[in-house]
């Protein structure tokens, strides 16, 4: 785990997972739907657990939101904002994170 990572959510993290610096796991957002209640008094949503399976690499400054499931062998690009589940061996990046390509075997 790199410097200045922020683990602000419930998370299950598998073996051999790498976090670069400044990675954030974020959970429990503020409620904001009721316009008759100031947001600071509206309370917080329930925490949803983030799951990161084995052999995942999370790049510098990536943000992973609550409830997301990142499957085995995935790569999260630097600066990505992950709002949805990530398939096994997928490479995702951007804001919001989108599928870029799959990782592949060197010796098929």
Global pTM reads: 0.90
Query: Tell me, which fold does domain 6-31+38-101 have in CATH?
Result: UDP N-Acetylglucosamine Acyltransferase; domain 1 (2.160.10)
pLDDT at residue 103 tops 70: yes
Give the per-residue pLDDT at 108: 67
Q: Which residues of 20-53 are buried (b: 16+ CB within 10 A; e: fewer)?
A: bebbbbbbeeeeeeeeeeeeeeeeeeeeeebbbb
Give the per-residue pLDDT at 34: 86
Show which residues are catalytic. Answer: 30
The stretch 14-25 carries a mean pLDDT of 98
Give the per-residue pLDDT at 58: 98
């Amino acid at each position: 785990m790199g410097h200045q990572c922020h683990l602000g959510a419930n998370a299950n993290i598998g073996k051999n997972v790498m976090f670069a610096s400044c990675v954030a796991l974020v959970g429990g957002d503020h409620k904001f739907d009721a316009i008759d209640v100031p947001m600071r008094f509206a309370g917080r949503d329930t925490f949803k657990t983030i799951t990161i399976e084995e052999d995942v690499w999370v790049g510098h400054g990536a943000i992973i939101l609550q409830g997301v499931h990142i499957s085995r062998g995935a790569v999260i690009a630097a600066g990505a904002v992950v709002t949805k589940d990530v398939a096994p061996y997928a490479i995702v990046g951007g804001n919001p994170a989108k599928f870029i390509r799959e990782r592949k075997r060197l010796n098929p």
